[in-house]
Amino acid sequence: MVLPARRQNRKESRPAMSEIEKTIPIEVLRYRPEQDTEPVLQTFQVPFTDDMSVLQGLQYIKDYLDGSLSFRWSCRMAICGSCGMMVNGIPSLSCKTFLSDYYPAGLRIEALAHFPIERDLVIVMDDFIEKLESIKPYIIPKTPRALSEGEYLQTPAERDVYEQFSSCINCMLCYAACPQYGLNSKFVGPGIMALLHRYNMDSRDGGAEQRMELVHSEDGVFNCTAVGYCSEVCPKHVDPGNAVNINKTESAKDYFLRFVMPKGSNSGAAK
């Protein structure tokens, strides 16, 4: 039996938590509405190994130190976008950030900036979800298509135009990074603009005109002051700042040319 033997080896090379000597102080922003009138910091001493993520540090606190600590997480591998939080003031996925990088000074974990706190590190994301729904984040066919017509065909070149923007995992780090969203949460914001652009640029899609109304509006792209921090913090290398910039140009073009261009040819996009 090969497997049990390998397991045995792994056990030997990896000490149990109780045998680990290195500990790191983790400051966590707590907010328990039933007892706290405002968020307060609480420090935990957490034993850790070099391969432990910040998320695993929080899971250690929840399992062994304080079971009441609340935070969102799911996949542990930067796919699901649930575990976004501020790590030393920087919007980060806690599963993709490692405790050893903060040793020995320790680190401070807070709920994502610019969102209301529901409890501890859990934020209220209603605003983001409503915006996401409002841009119709799905392919809207140009003309009704019967099943018998078969699948849509798309060339690699047509795919390349939007592929980068389709990597968004809705983690909202860009919203926590955006100073303009922090000042005015009515601003459509970076992540939603990246997704809106992703669908507008898709050769199979015909919904650009419906989506551009929001882009052109008072809550649209012109609230952005080109800070660019959104693109810097994105864990999936999406460039929402670029999506916003392209749409500023598109929106400005449409503003001046809408009366001379035939309807439908200009409102959306550099296809």
Partner 1 sequence: MSANLKRSNAPIFWLLFGAGGMLSALLGPMLVFITGIAIPLGLILSPDAMSYAHMQAFAHHWLGAGFVWVIVSLFLWHAGHRIFHSLHDIGIHAGTTAKLICYGIPLVATIVAARAALVSLT
Residues at the contact surface with partner 1, assessed by CB under 8 A: 127, 130-131, 134, 179, 183, 186, 188, 213-214, 216-220, 222, 225, 248, 251-252, 255-256
Nearer to partner 1, 45 or 225 (CB): 225
- Rounded to whole angstroms, the Cα distance separating 86 from 152 reads 41
Torsion of CA 44, 50, 53, 57, to 10 degrees: -20
Give kind and range of the element (H or E) at residue 46.
strand 40-47
Task: Report which residue type is found at 52.
Answer: M
Q: Is 116 helix (H, G, I), strand (E, B) or coil?
A: coil
Which CB sits closer to partner 1, 81 or 220?
220
The residue among 25 and 182 lying less far from partner 1, judged by its C-beta, is 182
CB of 174 to partner 1, least distance (A): 17
Q: Encoding tokens for residue 210?
A: 């419906």
- Please, which residues bridge with residue 154 across strands? none
Nearer to partner 1, 120 or 250 (CB): 250
CB crowding 165-175: b at 16 or more within 10 Å, else e: bbebbbbbbbb
**H or E stretch covering 25:** strand 23-30
Q: Closer to partner 1 at the Cβ: 51 or 213?
A: 213
Measured from the CB atom, the residue of 100 and 225 that comes closer to partner 1 is 225
Question: Residue 111 Cβ, how far from partner 1 at the closest point, in Å?
Answer: 20
Please provide residue 45's backbone torsions phi and psi, each rounded to the nearest 5 degrees: -95, 115
* Parallel, antiparallel or unpaired: strands 23-30 and 107-110: parallel
- Element at 118 (helix H, strand E): strand 117-119
Q: How far is the CB of 250 from partner 1 (least distance, A)?
A: 10
Measured from the CB atom, is 57 or 268 closer to partner 1? 268
Question: Hey, what are 100's tokens?
Answer: 């050893």
* Closest distance of CB 266 from partner 1, Å: 13
Q: Least CB distance from residue 219 to partner 1, whole Å?
A: 5
Least distance between partner 1 and beta carbon 217 (Å): 5
Burial of 204: CB neighbours in 10 Å, binned 0-12, 13-18, 19+ = middle
